[in-house]
Amino acid sequence: LRAQWFARIAEAADESALETVRVGALGKKGEVSLKMRELGKMTPEQRQTAGPALNALKDELNSALAARRASLADAALAERLRAEWLDVTLAPRPSRRGAIHPVSQVTEEVAAIFADMGFGVAEGPQIETAWYNFDALNIPGHHPARAEMDTFYMARADGGDPHVLRTHTSPVQIRTMQAEGAPLRIIAPGRVYRSDFDQTHTPMFHQVEGLAIDRDISMANLKWVLEEFFAAFFEVDGVETRFRASHFPFTEPSAEVDIRCSWVDGQLKVGEGDGWLEVLGSGMVHPKVLEYGGIDPSQWQGFAFGMGIDRIAMLKYGIPDLRAFFDSDLRWLRHYGFAA
Ligand code: PHE
């Protein structure tokens, strides 16, 4: 009897099998329990030997059951530790996180700096009428500036005047004047298009327009705003600007603006040195342009500027080739992109 139950305890493969064995031996109707009940029918002599023997067997079985239960629990734990083992020294899986494109990053930076100076953000359509892109900006049909702009024209199914892909963000000046009137302080970032392609030109690129209209705006305001902007954007104490006389049909007078810079070991340093870098076109808004925008030029005047976003992104982040901006090469995006 004893050997048989010990063998069953040793064979129990898990805790529930062990419980079945326990009930079979020591449960109410268990074999050992029944034997103990038979003690009553025995003679006193028989009982004197069988009683202690059965009690001893019961104790032995109980301790064997406890020992087996403990070793089964140990084995179960060991198995879990083995199965759920994790090598924390393994290299992480490559992350599929995206990155912010330098153009988006720089657009945000520009908008934040101008917001601090009270400029809101305005937008206009990329498919524009020739009137907004040219005529309302004082560029009449015969004007050479139309030809110089390498315009993409879009034939219309109804045979009407062709639309254009806007060649600059300046039409947003007119749209915002018409929509909001004076006074006005806005920037207008966005995509523009010209049929031109080489290392420094792509047929689609980004500009940001600036426009401030008020009672007595002057070129001095323009210069201050631009110098504040460049110092903040290039994260330097100050940036000197140089205004060169120029011509745009929609500003009078007009100026191209350079910033002071130098090249040290192939790295651009903005704000110091004896070099100059052209960064934008600007001027005082032409009275005829104010009129096209529905604003009275005898009461109001303003300044405007237009700057290449891709260009200042290249300068700030040391990106050599403009064409790579729009190749959608993931390695390039990972290298020059910004954490989201
Ligand atoms: N629209 C001009 C360009 O694309 C830039 C400009 C904007 C110049 C506003 C003067 C005023 O080249």
- pLDDT at position 36, please? 86
Ligand 1 contact via 170 beta carbon (within 6 Å) = yes
Reference 13, options 77, 82, 69; nearest CA is 69
Tell the residue nearest (CA) to atom 5 of ligand 1: 306
Residue 100, SS3 per DSSP: strand
Whether residue 252 is annotated as binding a ligand: the answer is yes
- pLDDT at position 320, please? 84
- What's the pTM value of the predicted model, to 2 decimals? 0.73
| Structure tokens belonging to residue 228 | 């504040």
Decide if pLDDT at 234 tops 80.
yes
- pLDDT at position 161, please? 84
Convert the pLDDT of each residue in 67-122 to its tens digit. 999 999 999 999 999 899 888 899 988 777 889 999 999 999 999 999 999 999 99
183-202 average pLDDT score: 92
13-26 average pLDDT score: 90
| Distances 257 to 242, 306, 317 between C-alpha atoms, Å | 6, 10, 21
Q: Which of 132, 165, 170 to mutate to test the pocket of ligand 1 (most atoms within 8 A of CB)?
A: 170
Convert the pLDDT of each residue in 244-274 to its tens digit. 999 999 999 999 999 999 988 878 888 888 9
ipTM of the complex: 0.98
Decide if pLDDT at 145 tops 80.
no
Contact (Cβ atoms closer than 8 angstroms) between residue 268 and residue 318: yes
Ligand 1 contact via 304 beta carbon (within 6 Å) = yes
Decide if pLDDT at 238 tops 80.
yes
- pLDDT at position 77, please? 92
Rounded Cα gap, residues 31 and 339, in angstroms? 73
